[in-house]
Structure 1
Amino acid sequence: MEYRTLGDTDLQLSAITYGAFAIGGNMWGGNETKDSIAAVHASLDNGVTTIDTAPFYGFGLSEELIGAAIKSKDRGKIQLLTKFGLVWDGSNQGKGEYFFDASENGRAIPVYKLTSKANIIKELEESLKRLGTDYIDLLQLHWPDATTPVDETMEALNTLISQGKIRAAGVSNYDLPLMKTAAKTTRLASNQVSYSMLNRGIEKDMVPYAIENNIGIIAYSPLERGLLTGKYFRDAALKADDHRNGYFGQFSADKVKAFLDSITPLAESKNASLSQLVLRWTTLQPGITIVLAGARNAAQATQNAQTMNLQLKADEVGFISRELEKVYAE
């Protein structure tokens, strides 16, 4: 495993980080508790020291599962990354910005974005309890909230750092103007953004800004929620309540399949899976600090963690990138 410094903090994070969205179950067709905990343990056993989660994942379940999984582990050797700012239980009392309706057991649950100082403090205490810890290594705003001034949110994060409840502050899904606004109030350690072979928009402005200002970039959905593993072009099927039934529709299936077919021989020559090759390419892109990889069981988690054993030469990275350009060609 390779460990990388996040921005100008003293946090050393594993280049492959365990992404805990799917084990929450909601929007992913459910979960199995035993398998989820085994996935976290397998990650830790294979050098992954960093776990990224959020209260929204499973409406608290993801954090609870992680708390159970690390209860007997050395907390000082694990970096916990979580978030705040999505409210679903009605406690916002009409405040915040409506986001979307989530689903749980066939029931629609309205979700609001709320990043007020009071809500940050409330959510943090709830996360600490679920995770079974007294501090968070990196606390991240989950989604921008147009109803709360940016400086109010950032000042609250400054306070939590000074209190020792969080070691560093970050954001997620922030665009460049919001990053610059936030920088007037606090020193952000990172921005967690969607980034993959099929989604490279941040390379235009966010990556140069992050590099220039020593801000970490945490890449989520690097496998495009499983599409880039190739298994959905073979025999894998999605459950009816899995959000990916609609999500995959934004991509050209024929182009993606042709691309994966073109790089499969390289993966096979390295005794690696397609997902490992895709993840490794992603970790080697300029400005990308760590890459989130989700896993529902120990086997998937082990495979993700072992990605960093894969060595790619410059010409091999170039070959992948050239083949990838064909996906974007008209």
Structure 2
Amino acid sequence: MTLNDVWFIAIAVLWVGYFVLEGFDFGVGMLLPVLSRDGVERRVMINTIGPVWDGNEVWLLTAGGATFAAFPEWYASLFSGFYLPLFVILVALILRGVAFEYRGKRDSDRWRANWDKAIVFGSFVPALLWGVAFANIVRGVKLDASHEYVGTFWDLLNPYALLGGLVTLSLFATHGAIFVSLKTVGEIRVRARSIALQTGVVAAVLAVAFLVWTQVRSGSAVTIVMAALAALAFVGALGMVVAGREGWSFGLSAAAIGLAVASLFVVLYPDVLPSTLDPANSLTVTNAAASPKTLGIMTWVAVIFLPVVLVYQSWSYWVFRRRIGVQDIPA
């Protein structure tokens, strides 16, 4: 195994972490008008992710930075070819972050309602478009011999990619509902469990269709096993919701998302961005990688600082582990 392979695995791990962690707070944001009945309940829902949502976004920044440093050719082709959807995701994430900080700056119901809409929008759009983007990466795009994307924006909206977007959207909604049920008490918890089952059934159907399509296209024995384990974990998560075991349900839901995302990277390897025009034009872990010296320096930096980040984030989740309810919100 070379450093190219190590950093491909590292980037895969970062994206798995991002989808698992940011996935549930996207879900909470999307379900804000569905699960809450008044301003106090909306505050309860926002408080469930308040201490962690910005830390979860660090996984995205780290994944993007690692891609830029370890595979600059991949980064250049990806961010130029996917410029418009990635720009829309960026705008949505900025608007969402501002909304979390600004909704409480004025004592006005209309003010808070408008920022709550921004939270819903800023959660819905990335949840959908990340699935579209990753499905296109796995499917391949129109790369010419110089590794330039020569397709159009509409080429990215193919049936396979759109199905991928619906999968991430429904999975994140279910993941978020399970998280709310894990973190709250009272009526919100009951409603969250009900919504988790409803969205979970839809997500299961869409995810199975997407994973089967992926396996038919370019699967292997390893990815079939991973996809099957992901499906079993998700079914187990829904079963734990019925049993009222939210902790187990959330863990199994996280495992299902993690296994599904990891299986896509296994399908992709050794390519990082396949070309649908000519396989010879594809970007791989070899021709898209940075120099060995760069990868070596990055490896030492990761070995030193990654454990610190993981310990700190784990500690923050432990500190804010208690369930909350409307009784915890001051008048």
The TM-score with structure 2 as length reference comes to 0.28
Larger Rg computed on CA atoms: 2
Quick check: which one's helix share is greater?
Answer: 2
The TM-score with structure 1 as length reference comes to 0.28
